Amino acid sequence: MPLPTRPMPTDPAARVAELRAALDDANYRYYVLDDPTLEDAAYDRMLRELTELEAAHPELASPDSPTQRVGAAPSTLFAEVRHEFPMLSLGNAFGHDELREFDARVRKGLGLGADDPAVVYVCELKIDGLAISLRYDGRSFVRGATRGDGSTGEDVTPNLRTVRAIPLRLRDDPPGETLEVRGEVFMPRGAFVALNEQLEREGKPLYANARNTAAGTVRQKAPAVTAGRRLSVWTYQVVGVPGLASHSESLKLMRELGFPVNPHARRVEGVDAVIEYVEEWAEARKDLDYETDGIVIKVDSVEQEQTLGFVSRAPRWATAYKFPAQQVTTKLEEIEVYVGRTGALTPVAHVTPIVVGGTTVRNATLHNIDEIRRKDLRVGDTVVLQRAGDVIPEVVSAVLDARDGSETVWEMPSACPVCGTAAVREEGEVVWRCPNPWCPAQRIGGLLHFTGRGGMDIEGAGYAVVNQLAERELLREPADIFRLEVETFEGLDRYARKSAENLFAAIQGARRRPLARILNSLGIRHVGEQTAIDLGNWLTRETTRLDGEDEAAWTRRVADRLCDASAEELTAVFGIGKVVAEGIAGYFADEHTRATLQHLLDAGVVAEAPEPGATVEASEGPLAGKTLVVTGTLAGFSREGAEDAIRSAGGHAGGSVSAKTDYLVVGEKAGSKLGRAEKLGVPVLDEEAFRRLLDGGGA
Ligand SMILES: [Zn+2]
């Protein structure tokens, strides 16, 4: 297309249309065809002319104009978006054998014998970014949403509009009135490096990895910030378009409509060709300008996909091959001990900073002293560091050949590094603890647990804020946070009026939370998320809300009931064992903790109450009344995903195997729990049997 360079003042409407087409075309050539034809300066000049024309002729304005990429954030930003078709998660395959097993399952599902032809697959790079969905009405981009939990995400339209790779207007009419495509937003390596260089010049803290930076950029409040971050996108799926015979056809359709589709997607025949692709990209991916963490393999034929269908929520016709964990060597410079909220002393390795899988790693966990001894790690050692996916980096081993005799054996300090109290190790435990309940490090850990995600979820109340408030004696117990004024936050380091107001507002909004969250936020020993849920359900059943009783009054009755509960009573609660019950009863028998709870209620903390008179039934679903424990790596679920699935089926997701466990779900690399289950005679399920149980079938 010839580029319009001369303005035609006689017909502004025609000129506007011409400029928009030229700018859209420039984006298309850049992002979809990878064949840029317009220099940045020329692009900017045309964009400026278009902006001026639209300002002079407001009647010509249009939301899908290239000038409309950055606007004010509307109130719908972060509103819930229900996905009409759920955004699926795929099962995983590690190693070639599991790819062959996947192919064998597909062939079996399609009824193919040894002499039948190979299955046709499409292999695509798995981009390490944030999954999103894009919706178009006619040719216009109208809504962008995050994946969220797969069924409900967040509206991030104004932020996604700023991503130039996302077409605001399609190049052709879509097959139906509306169209939805899915893809992955990411931050190119070059953009990530440039961003960190800029932050460094400004003396600001750097970002650790491109993936989280991209996710944070999509989920932040000012679209202008997103616009400045140079995010990009690859799209890989179109949903709800009938009449497409294959996945490769849908990729072609997306390209024709103007969506950026990764050029390395390849249609291959049979599993050997899949493995060849995987091998090729295990190395070649390192030269790409974006992070990848695997390969997605999909059956190409839509008819075959339909025959194969789904197991629970994962499609049988696709899998995600994960590249092996990346290992690098670096130097173990120092070992420092951190004190957690339970007093646990955890040694952490400080290493010479090094990039692994897109993240700059400075620290790695060493778990405990036994682990350090077993691996014979010494300060000054060259060590092998490993990072897989989102997992915390881990020191795998020392490189013995690299030792020169200057390395030193590390000893666990005999006292808490923060308060100086002698550390203790209980019989049978591997962890050393600071036994001082007034230890400042434990107090801060406890306060952070209270404000954190599993607790009251107060956005902005992270380590820097909590630590400063605690140091100034403004935050001695959890309830204090609800008594602080905006001015107090303004007085904190690096806190401007606006962020102080935001934090204040977040705190005010955090007074009302589900009962289980409040219980979890207290940080009672042995009480994790699941126990808090079980305890909350029991308390809600025990305390029927009265007519005319407000939430505050109901919450007080619940708190009284909890403080009066005996260990015997609690042991009878579904999901709570003897040790945990004694822990809870002991916790609330203490005057000090009772006062802590009382102060929270006085500060206006209330639990979300059921309707007056409502009786809460014991859970329903195929797993009602059953306790399941998950161990090892499952192909189709993350650990959290499996536990969520158990809870939504009405069951209880236990942490350890006991005589009360109904089933142990076993994945790859199961550990000691399997042995314990066999000893206690607890039935063991593989993943297939687990899925059948979730779907309502027998085990
Ligand atoms: Zn201490």
CATH architecture of 12-68: Orthogonal Bundle (1.10)
Q: How far is the CA of 370 from the centre of ligand 1 (A)?
A: 21
Look at residue 6 in the predicted model and tell me its pLDDT.
Answer: 53
How confident is residue 241, by pLDDT bands cut at 50, 70 and 90? confident
Residue 140 pLDDT? 94
Confidence of residue 573 (pLDDT cuts 50, 70, 90): confident
Query: At residue 254, what are phi and psi to the nearest 5 degrees?
Result: -60, -45
Cα 566 to averaged position of ligand 1 atoms, centre (Å) = 31
pLDDT (tens digit, 9 = 90+) per residue, 668-692? 877 788 888 888 889 999 888 888 8
d(C-alpha 161, C-alpha 164), whole Å: 7
Quote the ligand 1 centre to 435 CA distance (angstroms).
7
Is the confidence at residue 87, as pLDDT, over 60?
Answer: yes
Alpha carbon of 434 to ligand 1 centroid (Å): 5
CATH number of 91-322: 3.30.470.30
> For residue 37, what pLDDT is reported?
82
Cα(424) to ligand 1 centroid in Å equals 11
Identify whether 252 is a catalytic site residue.
no
Q: What gap in Å lies between CA 517 and CA 554, rounded to an integer?
A: 16
**What was the pLDDT predicted at 522?**
93
pLDDT of 7 > 60? The answer is no
State the pLDDT confidence band at 391, using cuts at 50, 70 and 90.
low
- E strands present in 614-657: 627-631, 652-654
Q: What is the pLDDT of residue 255?
A: 95
Distance 611 CA to ligand 1 centre (A): 44
- The pair of three-digit structure tokens given for residue 402, joined into one six-digit string: 């690299």
CA of 20 to the centre of ligand 1 (A): 64
**Average pLDDT score over the chain:** 88
Higher pLDDT, 301 or 454: 301
pLDDT at 389 exceeding the cut of 60 = no
How far is the centre of ligand 1, averaged over its atoms, from the C-alpha of 579 (Å)? 25
Which residues surround the ion ligand 1 when the cut-off is CB under 5 Å? 416, 418-419, 434, 436, 439
Lowest mean pLDDT among 31-45, 232-246, 590-604: 31-45
**Lowest-confidence region among 214-218, 279-283, 310-314, 576-580:** 310-314
C-alpha 443 to ligand 1 mean position (Å): 9
What is the spatial distance between Cα 470 and Cα 451, in angstroms, rounded to a whole number? 13
Architecture of the 627-694 domain: 3-Layer(aba) Sandwich (3.40)
* 425-443 tens-digit pLDDT: 887 777 899 998 789 898 8
- Asked if residue 143 has pLDDT above 90, the reply is yes
Please state, for a pLDDT cut of 70, what percent of the chain lies above it: 96
More confident site: 670 or 46: 46
Q: What secondary structure letter does DSSP report for 342?
A: T
More confident residue, 607 or 39: 607
In three-state form (DSSP H/G/I as H, E/B as E, the rest C), the secondary structure along 554-586 is HHHHHHHHHHHCCHHHHHCCCCCCHHHHHHHHH
Tell me which of 140-144, 309-313, 549-553 is least confident: 309-313
Domains 440-510 and 515-607 share a fold: yes
pLDDT of 463-504, one tens digit each? 889 989 998 999 999 999 999 999 999 888 877 888 889 999
Per-residue pLDDT tens digits for 90-142: 888 888 999 999 999 999 999 999 899 999 999 999 998 999 999 999 999 99
Q: pLDDT digits over 182-200, tens only?
A: 999 999 988 988 888 888 7
* C-alpha 442 to ligand 1 mean position (Å): 7
Mean pLDDT of 412-417: 93
CA of 470 relative to ligand 1 center, distance in Å: 15
CATH superfamily placement of domain 515-607 = 5' to 3' exonuclease, C-terminal subdomain (1.10.150.20)
Question: What does the alpha-carbon distance between residue 679 and residue 484 come to, in Å, rounded to a whole number?
Answer: 54
Confidence (pLDDT) at 80 = 87
What is the per-residue pLDDT for 431? 84
Which homologous superfamily does the CATH classification assign to the domain defined by 440-510? 5' to 3' exonuclease, C-terminal subdomain (1.10.150.20)
Q: pLDDT band at 608, cuts 50/70/90?
A: very high
Alpha-carbon distance of 160 to 47, in angstroms, equals 19
Measured between alpha carbons, how far is 651 from 694 in angstroms, rounded to an integer?
Answer: 10
pTM of the model: 0.58
CA 29 to CA 269: how far, in whole Å?
30
Boundaries of every domain in the chain:
12-68, 91-322, 326-409, 440-510, 515-607, 627-694
Write out pLDDT tens, residues 615-644. 766 666 788 878 899 988 887 777 777 887
Indicate the pLDDT class of residue 10, thresholds 50, 70 and 90.
low
What residues does 318 pair with on adjacent strands? Answer: 298
- Marked catalytic residue, from 108, 126, 626, 669: 126
The answer on pLDDT for 1 being more than 70 is no
CA gyration radius, the chain: 28
CATH architecture of 326-409: Beta Barrel (2.40)
Mean pLDDT throughout 152-160?
91
What's the confidence (pLDDT) of residue 527?
86
How far CA 145 is from CA of 79, 84, 135, 185, 258, in Å, comes to 9, 12, 9, 11, 19
Which residues 6+ apart lie within 8 Å of 280 measured at CB?
A: none
Higher-confidence residue: 362 or 224? 362
